Structure 1
Amino acid sequence: METKVSHDIVEKWLKAWSLSRKLPLPVRYKSGFKVEVGEERQKIRYVFSELNHDFIELSKQIDKPWTYLKVCASPDEVKNTVSGKWIIQPPGYMMSCFGPMKNSDTNLCEGYRIEYEKYNSTTVIKIIAENGELASIGRIVLVDDLAVYDRIVTEEKHQRKGLATFLMRELEKIALSKGITNNFLVATEQGKRLYESMGWELYSNYTSIVIPGI
């Protein structure tokens, strides 16, 4: 039996997402949430914890481009309920790790150093190469009892050196220092494999749709 997605966890994750990106906090919209993103190619995002009447009705009302609808459901489920004006985006995966991560004994590859930055309940960790290049970066946002990991990126020329694994462990230490062991993120197809190797599990499929502009 599929576990029902927690509306509370989705709300905390979206709040963390907004804090990480220095955006207005989400507001409730019917059974979901709305964030004023304000970017040229993502003006607003609506997020729903389930594929329901509110999501479907909103998909019928919106005609303007670059408003995203996002829902905890599979791409096929969404495709079967919305009109052809909507374009399904690459799949996302809500993932959780409720407890310590695996791969605890990781060391930073020689020739790299780490830097920290803080803002809006967010801690940024950067891994810097010897030549000063940014090799890897990630953020963690603590919202109540949930640690949300956001925008974990390793530059292509610095991949396959264990930097992302080391980065995740360093971010986890921040959560553990506050007594938080509930970890959450939304992964791409590529990132999903890394997180699974560290003990993360799929929490829910996460599908985004948009009407693209010209």
Structure 2
Amino acid sequence: MDTYRAEAERADIARVDPERVRAWVEGWVISRLASPPVEEEWGFSFDVGMSRQVTRHVLPEADEALVRKLTETFTAPGTWLKVMLPRETVRPWMAAGWDFGDPGFLMSTAVRPVSAPVPDGYRLRTWTRGGLTRALVVTADGTFAARGQVAIPPGTRTAVVDQVETAVNQRRKGLGSLVMRTLANAGAEAGAEAAVLGATPEGRALYESLGWRTESPLTGLVRNPSAVPAV
């Protein structure tokens, strides 16, 4: 967590490119089958439609006044805010009844075709439907090993990587890198020149090893499902 705090504070110094955030939002809603994003004066809103994440609001340029206003205004359980600021900055601004989600980072990289050899003993399958390309790695007997997916919103040249996962017993075998390179190639083939993703602190090391850079913290605020209005 100390590493996360230090990196977040450094990333917070630079202003995040709003168009990069827009691309991430537009790709994320494709990846998660969420509703089309609605542009607000302060960012973007869209419905996710899950019990613990009903609606999400993304704030590219949050400040104290905005966070205080929105956390006081949005009181429905399962409402999320995503801000490009460290937890330590946002914590004093949150209204009662809000908690933090897992820490994360917004990351980006240039996209170009790369070699993606499949290790012996594994099989790779990719398929595309509805603007979303998925990559699946399985063992010789068909057991799940790794996966990931990439969306390229229409009219953009930015690929959005999402849902990258490696089975616990399959880690440190190059499978995460295989998935990432496969998704990068899919993005390049579709005309993308850049890619963005939301990374966990654990996943960030893999992405950095592949040339990704941190753009900003990606802090989630969630209206606690058990929260009740303060008296």
Q: Same fold (TM over 0.5)?
A: yes
Q: Which residue of 2 aligns with 1:28?
A: 39
Partner SS, residue 80 of structure 1: helix
Question: What is the CA–CA distance in structure 2 between the aligned matches of 1:54 and 1:146, rounded to whole Å?
Answer: 28
2:170 is equivalent to residue 158 of structure 1: yes
Partner SS, residue 18 of structure 1: helix
Alignment map for 1:84-95 (pairs within 5 Å): 84-95=96-107
Partner SS, residue 16 of structure 2: coil
2:203 is equivalent to residue 194 of structure 1: no
Q: Which has the higher mean CA deviation after the structures are superposed, 92-101 or 55-64? A: 92-101
Q: Which residue of 2 aligns with 1:74?
A: 86
Q: Which residue of 2 aligns with 1:11?
A: 22
Residue 155 of structure 1 deviates from its aligned partner by 1.0
1:140 to 141, 150, 157: 150
Q: Which has the higher mean CA deviation after the structures are superposed, 1-10 or 158-167? A: 1-10
2:110 to 84, 98, 102: 98
Residue 209 of structure 1 deviates from its aligned partner by 0.8
Partner SS, residue 37 of structure 1: strand
Residue 83 of structure 1 deviates from its aligned partner by 2.5
Residue 100 of structure 1 deviates from its aligned partner by 4.6
Dislocated runs of 4+, deviation >3 Å: none
Residue 43 of structure 1 deviates from its aligned partner by 0.6
Letter of the structure 1 residue corresponding to residue 87 of structure 2: P
Question: What is the CA–CA distance in structure 1 between the aligned matches of 2:183 and 2:79, rounded to whole Å?
Answer: 31
Question: What is the CA–CA distance in structure 2 between the aligned matches of 1:154 and 1:182, rounded to whole Å?
Answer: 23
Q: Which has the higher mean CA deviation after the structures are superposed, 124-133 or 53-62? A: 53-62
- Deviations 1:139-176 (Å, cap 9, x if unpaired)? 11113110111110011111111001011111111122
- Deviations 1:42-92 (Å, cap 9, x if unpaired)? 110111002133333111112221111111111111102113421112211
Asked if the contact 2:123/2:138 (under 8 Å) is kept, the reply is yes
Query: TM-score scaled to structure 2, two decimals?
Result: 0.86
Gapped runs of 5+ residues in structure 2? 1-11, 227-231
Q: Which residue of 1 aligns with 2:188?
A: 176
Question: What is the CA–CA distance in structure 2 between the aligned matches of 1:118 and 1:213, rounded to whole Å?
Answer: 35
Asked if the contact 1:135/1:158 (under 8 Å) is kept, the reply is yes
Q: Which residue of 2 aligns with 1:167?
A: 179
Asked if the contact 1:51/1:78 (under 8 Å) is kept, the reply is no
Q: Which residue of 2 aligns with 1:40?
A: 51
Pair 210,111 (structure 1): closer, same or farther in 2 beyond 3 Å: same
Q: Which residue of 2 aligns with 1:118?
A: 128
Question: What is the CA–CA distance in structure 1 between the aligned matches of 2:48 and 2:190, rounded to whole Å?
Answer: 29
Question: What is the CA–CA distance in structure 2 between the aligned matches of 1:40 and 1:197, rounded to whole Å?
Answer: 35
Question: What is the CA–CA distance in structure 2 between the aligned matches of 1:185 and 1:209, rounded to whole Å?
Answer: 18
Partner SS, residue 172 of structure 2: coil
Question: What is the CA–CA distance in structure 2 between the aligned matches of 1:149 and 1:5, rounded to whole Å?
Answer: 18
Question: What is the CA–CA distance in structure 2 between the aligned matches of 1:3 and 1:142, rounded to whole Å?
Answer: 26
Question: What is the CA–CA distance in structure 1 between the aligned matches of 2:179 and 2:123, rounded to whole Å?
Answer: 11
Query: TM-score scaled to structure 1, two decimals?
Result: 0.92
